[in-house]
Chains A and B, each alone.
Chain A
């Protein structure tokens, strides 16, 4: 599906390759995946850049995201309108940032945005609690959650404002051994 050359023009493919970490084959297969989500919505022919958006409810059914506790946040972060409606560009962008070859800096920026639930550019306690509850499916007691959040903030907060700014987050993540291996999605 979508492997016909008519899906994109040669220039589009080149441009996508310039803007992402994908090869042309991967871009074509991405388009196939995108189209699978909503076959009636997404045309096969993308040469004239149709302005089509697939809603979040459909995007999160992808097997790559289906089990991810942060799927809604991921989709919201990468969608241009912030509501989770994704155009093909957003779609490609998302998987490019999450792919294996993307550099740590880029991943860090997006990880911060994903974990920043209320989008105030800080990861505050509520964000941490939400993260933790998603990670453990709410199986920790409230006291445990508070304790863990306090500890996490205490560890990573460098400027003592009791929330994590991006630089705190970056500093913390840059030393994490598993971040790169875990923060990627294969497509």
Chain B
């Protein structure tokens, strides 16, 4: 009921008045006690004031009936405060209150205006019921007037208070920013009423407590203001007033010693808030490419933008990886390690020196690039380097492990967060409503995208309708089945073929490598990478063509497509790795030979000089001339770097040719072509979200795999991502058209993340395998001379930590402890898994229960509504009957005509609970309502009402129920 809302607001105002009037209250009491005589008007006002206060304060006697009921209602309204509606009105009143207390010059006029506006709002709320509630409204008006006066009164009190505060300040010499203002204001306006009412009394603790509560409430209000569904104007006004209130009274809080502390605390919180806000501003300003992504989002909808957000996320991860490898491995080695040319592993061999600076060689990461910090082989096995004894090999190892660990952590964390966000889905109970209310993507700002969205929404509705009608005819199930099998067979052939091709090419390239790369053409040298990139480019297109055979629903088709591309990439990567393993084994054989040769060579060297004296200065041989092993680690690193480079190049070139050139051709040749190029065959390309995401994921997988052997990989990848961000943004905006089928991106996020996790696992697997099983090269890299790479840990433990520590460690690492520990972990995993399973089951169970409850509620509500309707009818009947009786008494002429009707009514009356529908149509002449049914209805309904004006609707609805039933 609108009256309700009005009254509630009134009550809320009262609360605020109480808070504000707390101080005045005591003041007032004292005043009355000590100074009996006051000016007449003043006293009158005081009386009213007191009435008001009596309501709030129980210490004051003579609580009137009305005020008591008001207190109750106020309590109720306070309880309901969470509801926006009440809050709205509450703060409305609050605003008014602040106006009153704050008023410095005579503001009664303004107050009245405020009242009016508020009343107006109330009227708006209660348009429908206004007439019937007129009496109530009048009452409210009267009250408001009273309040205006009391507001004036309050103002005076305020002045007094200001002076009082001033005194207090003088006494205690405590200054807060707000207090001087207050007291000065008080000073200014003290002219009339301040004969001698200044009292240096202190506030009692309870009142202080109350005030504090009020201040806290205001603070909370300020914080939650942005989430309120009010118009901005109101928010601003409320904000200003709340801030003023807080500022004014904050200083009055706390006393004695605590006071200073309190003021200090308040100041610090203010400063802290300011800092936080500035920091927040700074942080958002620091997010890169936000504007670009927003622009794309508004043109292409959220799914295309999700790719760029994913790209940015990837960029941030690579930033960290780069920071780790660059800061802890590359820079220390470059700055503090031995300089270039000091030892063989840091020097270009004599044979390669001639062409070491050629661009072709450098582009292949040979020559000087190979013998630099970019690759594993350059690092020295010196335990500690530089003046602060940087443990280089250990750092290298730990960074390698740390990058992988960090990546795992980030991916899993993100997955968990995404799962939390999308945990509510997968229940189809609101299929149509959701389609209706949440399918439009508000981000779309491009006409073409909008058209596509309209089309896709229409299709989805049609599909849903078809499903609903369950009349979907399957045209030829056998043909479809056959086609699907055929398609899968074709795809498998493609996969197998591409795998074999890669294996073949890698084997061939090894042959070339054995022959010496110089004798072969550019193509033969780069065959592997080129073939891999080309396969990655063309196979997805092939799959796309094949998938048209299958006739799947687009969403299912997309998943198949993604799965196939994933399989292709994975197969390619693993064939590549297996071929690489072969290469490693070859190199290791070669290494053995070289090692033997070197010992021979050294022996011959010493023998050749004839000097038997070993202490004599050794013959100086230029490090470039020293024979060396093949260093398989560097070879692996180089392979990966080349792969990344060629992959990047293919991506960019495809982008330029496939998108840009195509767009240019279509755009400009369209004028002189025989068919419409834009609408017809080539048209513009769409942005392929899934393919791009997959490419990104695999690229990342290669980084993870190769980063251990080529510390420069994260840096390269960072560069690549940076460039592709700009390039792809540009390409999307200038030469792509929005997708025809717009899919929601939200659901697939975790799908991509899961892929990333799989790739991460699969790419760390070979890296870990090589680290653990293959002994490092004898003459290059930070681990040279050790049996296994992880021996560096052992070494550090033994030499850098106290003896007891290594002892403890050796105990801890013995199988007797490790095995039980692993067992324990397995048990823990099992336990957690089973609990999560049971939670899931419980979840499902609860969902079911909830649904049943909902159904039940529906039924109950229906019944309650029916009952309420009947009661209403009854009441109406009785009312109209009495009316008829009255009329009968007054007007004897019409008696005869009326007789029938009376009988009718009487009958109905006695029949009681079964009103015929015709009665429902009767206009309710008398708004007599029985409170009983309404309460019952409300109780059964039990739903929170948030929207203002909701209450107005309950009555018409009650009338409407039976009429709907008739349908």
CB distance A109 to B229 under 8 Å?
A: yes
Binding stretch for chain A, among B629-637, B691-699, B956-964: B956-964
Query: Which chain B positions have C-beta within 8 A of A102?
Result: 227
Question: SS class of chain A's interface: helix, strand, loop or mixed?
Answer: helix
Number of interface residues of A (CB under 8 A): 78
Known contacts: A110-B229, A122-B953, A159-B861. The answer to whether A178 contacts B444 by CB under 8 A is no
Q: B430 is contacted by which of A15, A144, A176 (Cβ under 8 Å)?
A: A176
CB distance A90 to B231 under 8 Å?
A: yes
Bound form: Cα–Cα A92–B953 in Å: 31
Query: Which chain A positions have C-beta within 8 A of B944?
Result: 167
CB distance A161 to B961 under 8 Å?
A: yes
Q: B239 is contacted by which of A15, A65, A98 (Cβ under 8 Å)?
A: A15
B457: interface (CB < 8 Å) = yes
CB distance B945 to A21 under 8 Å?
A: no
Interface mask (B286-327 → A, CB under 8 Å = 1, otherwise 0): 000000001001100010000000000000000000000000
Considering residues A64, A65, A139, A178, which has the most beta carbons from chain B within 10 angstroms of its beta carbon? A178
A42: interface (CB < 8 Å) = no
CB distance A158 to B943 under 8 Å?
A: yes
CB distance A186 to B298 under 8 Å?
A: yes
CB distance A177 to B960 under 8 Å?
A: no
Binding stretch for chain B, among A1-9, A31-39, A146-154: A146-154
Bound form: Cα–Cα A67–B445 in Å: 5
Query: Which chain A positions have C-beta within 8 A of B908?
Result: none
Bound form: Cα–Cα A87–B461 in Å: 37
Give residues of chain B (224-247) contacting chain A, Cβ–Cβ below 8 Å: 225-229, 231-233, 235-236, 239-240
B476: interface (CB < 8 Å) = no
B519: interface (CB < 8 Å) = no
Chain A nearest CB from B436 CB (Å) reads 5
Bound form: Cα–Cα A105–B465 in Å: 30
B522: interface (CB < 8 Å) = no
Give residues of chain A (115-156) contacting chain B, Cβ–Cβ below 8 Å: 115, 120-122, 128, 131-132, 135-137, 139-140, 144, 147-148, 151-152, 155-156
CB distance B227 to A121 under 8 Å?
A: no
B744: interface (CB < 8 Å) = yes
B222: interface (CB < 8 Å) = yes
Question: SS class of chain B's interface: helix, strand, loop or mixed?
Answer: helix
CB distance A67 to B950 under 8 Å?
A: no
Between A and B, how many residue pairs show CB distances below 8 Å? 219
Binding stretch for chain A, among B419-427, B538-546, B604-612, B726-734: B419-427
Bound form: Cα–Cα A183–B437 in Å: 9
CB distance B434 to A162 under 8 Å?
A: no
Chain B nearest CB from A3 CB (Å) reads 13
Query: Which chain A positions have C-beta within 8 A of B84?
Result: 109
B462: interface (CB < 8 Å) = yes
A80: interface (CB < 8 Å) = yes
Q: B862 is contacted by which of A160, A183, A184 (Cβ under 8 Å)?
A: A160
Bound form: Cα–Cα A173–B285 in Å: 32
Query: Which chain A positions have C-beta within 8 A of B961?
Result: 160-161
Bound form: Cα–Cα A135–B434 in Å: 12
Known contacts: A67-B444, A182-B439. The answer to whether A155 contacts B429 by CB under 8 A is yes
Chain B nearest CB from A43 CB (Å) reads 18
Known contacts: A120-B953, A139-B458. The answer to whether A152 contacts B439 by CB under 8 A is no
Query: Which chain A positions have C-beta within 8 A of B949?
Result: 121
New A-B pairs, 15, CB < 8 Å, besides A68-B440, A135-B436, A176-B430: A23-B284, A67-B447, A93-B232, A93-B235, A102-B227, A103-B227, A109-B229, A111-B437, A155-B431, A158-B943, A160-B862, A161-B960, A175-B430, A177-B422, A187-B294
Interface residues of B (CB under 8 A from A): 84, 222, 225-229, 231-233, 235-236, 239-240, 277, 280-281, 284-285, 294, 297-298, 302, 422, 424-425, 427, 429-434, 436-447, 449-450, 454, 457-458, 461-462, 464-465, 468, 744-747, 854, 857-859, 861-862, 865, 941, 943-947, 949-950, 952-953, 957, 960-961, 964
Interface residues of A (CB under 8 A from B): 15, 17-21, 23-25, 63-70, 80, 87, 89-90, 92-93, 96-98, 102-103, 105-106, 109-112, 115, 120-122, 128, 131-132, 135-137, 139-140, 144, 147-148, 151-152, 155-162, 165-167, 169-170, 172-173, 175-179, 181-187
